[in-house]
Amino acid sequence: MIHTSIAIFATFALCTSASSAAQAPGVSIELGERSSLTRPDGTFDYESADLQSVKIHNKYQQNFRNLVANGGNLPDGWELRELRTVPETMQKRASGSEPLIDEDHDTEWEGNIAIGTPGQTFLVDFDTGSGDLWVPSSACRDVNCLGKQKYNAALSSTSSRKNGTFTIRYADNSTVSGPIYTDSVTVAGLTAKDQYFSPVETLSKSFANGPVNGIVGLAYPGISRLRKDPFFTTLIKQGTVSAGVFAIKLATVGSTLFLGGTDTTKYTGDIEYHAVNSSASVWLTDGAKTVVGALNPNTGFQAIIDSGTKLMYGPPNAVQTFYAAIPGSAVYNAQRGYYSYPCHALPAIGFSWGGKTWEVTSGNFNLGATEVGGSQCVGTLVGHDFGFGPNVWLLGDSFMKNVYTAFSFDKNSVGFATLA
């Protein structure tokens, strides 16, 4: 087994040991972590959390539009909504807390990719909840591109300009947009040739702070805004990976993305696979239920597994039902769907798809105290109506940190295993 690891993040020093092997049985890339929704004084960072919710709202509304534009139908009950914006004042307060790193509340996962020949390197987010790849362009004159890594097509012998433009709108109503290119894209020594992507010439303010330069979408082609195969689908079609499976471990230390299979050193026991409902071109599972102690407050719902979402969200009524099963829980903000619970008396919380219960640890469930030194904490499960209707939940990092997660295009399934 070839393990090509790209160490990144803490120092930004880049030690690539690129593998030249095609058809590798699987390679891994280390992911760095950053950003917190808990303030340094231990309290819940409401503004940052709310900015996240708006960002996720817009991401999925964009996904819905892409799905329709690609000739798909929105699943029953899913609705197109306006994209949302957040007030400038909240953006300021939220971004003020952005650079803080709290190792106990790591919430975003980044790794390196190289684009072009020779490779130009970018630190990006790997997002199982979207389908496109973009990075800043050397033609970006936007103030938000200052200090970013930028793609220069002229310096790549394999770059090719395509027709059209790419645009996505973010929560601050700014856009990420640019022309469309193909070029070679390499992650951990695996190269997707002629991969469609956009070197963006305007960059949303939401990316101005922090080290992330772009996004690699890892969902199905059906939600690609570029209407092209996402990076991992290209690897499969070009025969670069021997298995159409990638897997993610998110943790405070040793987070990895494994391409071309699963890394058996990272989990124990079998992987429990569940079929993906292909109706939405994301990693949508059917038949989930919640576990609170000995109770199952919610049953028979659908859940999207999304590494590009920090928290966990459910339909507002369902989330109310969930917290009602936790003794001492209270509404924290009814309109925004936040609840609190006694920090030190949380029952065992988890999710089940009919097999094991995949527990969310109390540490991963806790977004911080409601007030300095307070004994009530805000839970990472938030009630939010994204336009998914009454039966779809969104499980992001707060869930994924508790399990080893495999995403299989071969089986059209998502699998969970116990972390080693």
List contacts with ligand NAG (CB under 6 A). Answer: 75-76, 85, 162-163, 173, 277, 279, 286, 302
* Half-sphere CA count of 308, side-chain side, radius 13 A: 25
Task: Output 43 or 277, the one with its CB closest to ligand NAG.
Answer: 277
**Cα(178)–Cα(139) distance, integer angstroms:** 9
Tokens read off for 208: 């101005």
Task: Output 186 or 206, the one with its CB closest to ligand NAG.
Answer: 206
Residue 387 CB, nearest approach to ligand NAG (Å): 13
Task: Output 143 or 253, the one with its CB closest to ligand NAG.
Answer: 143
Task: Output 36 or 302, the one with its CB closest to ligand NAG.
Answer: 302
**Cα(85)–Cα(174) distance, integer angstroms:** 9
**Cα(326)–Cα(317) distance, integer angstroms:** 15
Contact 43/369 with Cβ under 8 angstroms? yes
Residues composing the chain: 420
CA-nearest of 286, 340, 288, 283 to 309 is 283
Integer-rounded Cα Rg, in Å, for the chain is 20
Would residue 306 show up in a list of annotated catalytic residues for this protein? yes
Query: For residue 369, which phi and psi values (nearest 5 degrees)?
Result: -75, 155
- Catalytic option among 45, 127, 142, 263: 127
Would residue 127 show up in a list of annotated catalytic residues for this protein? yes
Alpha helical stretches, state H, 104-238 = 231-237
Query: For residue 314, which phi and psi values (nearest 5 degrees)?
Result: -140, 170
Residue 172 CB, nearest approach to ligand NAG (Å): 9
**Cα(45)–Cα(93) distance, integer angstroms:** 10
Task: Output 66 or 240, the one with its CB closest to ligand NAG.
Answer: 66
Residue showing the smallest CB distance to ligand NAG in the complex? 75
Token look-up 């307070």 returns: 374
- Catalytic option among 142, 263, 306, 397: 306
Residue 65 CB, nearest approach to ligand NAG (Å): 15
Identify the three-state secondary structure at position 53: helix
CB neighbourhood size of 217 (10 A): 27
Residue 143 CB, nearest approach to ligand NAG (Å): 17
Q: What does DSSP assign to residue 206?
A: G
Task: Output 25 or 300, the one with its CB closest to ligand NAG.
Answer: 300
**Cα(31)–Cα(4) distance, integer angstroms:** 13
Task: Output 359 or 385, the one with its CB closest to ligand NAG.
Answer: 385
**Cα(191)–Cα(371) distance, integer angstroms:** 49
Q: Using alpha carbons, list the distances in angstroms from residue 48 to 86, 95, 268.
A: 11, 7, 35
**Cα(420)–Cα(45) distance, integer angstroms:** 31
Task: Output 42 or 75, the one with its CB closest to ligand NAG.
Answer: 75
Residue 373 CB, nearest approach to ligand NAG (Å): 38
Tokens read off for 405: 């997660």
Tokens read off for 411: 């089986």
Q: Show which residues are catalytic.
A: 127, 306
